[in-house]
Structure 1
Amino acid sequence: MSHTHEQAEGEVSARECADFLEQIVYLIDNELDAADCAAVRAHIDTCNPCLEKYDLQRTVKAVVARSCSEVAPSELRGKILLGLTRAKIEIEEG
């Protein structure tokens, strides 16, 4: 879904929105410096389409984080380790 709106004073272009959207993941992961963090937050506070995308990214990240907290059964882990060991041996014997 593209984000377009008429350029008025104080509004940003769709290209600028795209630049901010690229930084949202880093914002969520706390990987932006203070100045960039403030700029991205200021933008999403005034741009509803970007705020919606930010909320969606945050929700997806939270769901994935919850899903990744489960531990694979030991039998499955053993099969995977065995498969990795076999693959390593095949590569080494080439």
Structure 2
Amino acid sequence: MSCGEPHETDCSEVLEEVWLFLDHECDQGRRELLEKHLDECSPCLEQFGIEEHLKVLLRSKCGGEHAPETLKQRLRDKIRQAAPPPRTS
């Protein structure tokens, strides 16, 4: 996805990392880049809002239970394998 506007961080890259952003699992520098992009890009901000609401819904329906770290890592690995490679300019 791309909004057609130039950004320091590409829209598709931001949306690939939105769950890391929501879960505070990226370093501070990366978090600031993603946050800046979301402030500038309304299509990504809208998608971010959808993802954020989904996370809240899942948390409320799952009773606040935390998945084991090994499961989280396996899921991250599978998502990275399934995600298309980042585009290079």
Q: Corresponding residue for 2:29?
A: 35
Q: Does residue 66 of structure 1 match 2:80?
A: no
Q: How many residues were matched structurally?
A: 65
Structure 1: gaps of 5 or more residues: 71-94
Q: Answer with 1 or 2: which has the greater Rg.
A: 1
- Structure-2-length-normalised TM-score: 0.64
Structure 1 consecutive aligned stretches of length 4 or more whose deviation exceeds 2 Å? 2-5
The aligned runs of 1:10-29 (5 Å cut-off) are 11-12=6-7, 16-29=10-23
Q: Corresponding residue for 2:72?
A: none
> Counting helix residues as a fraction of each chain, which structure ranks higher?
1
- Structure-1-length-normalised TM-score: 0.61
Q: Does residue 55 of structure 1 match 2:28?
A: no
Decide which of 38, 41, 44 is 1:44's aligned counterpart: 38
Percent of aligned positions that are identical: 23
**RMSD, aligned α-carbons:** 2.4
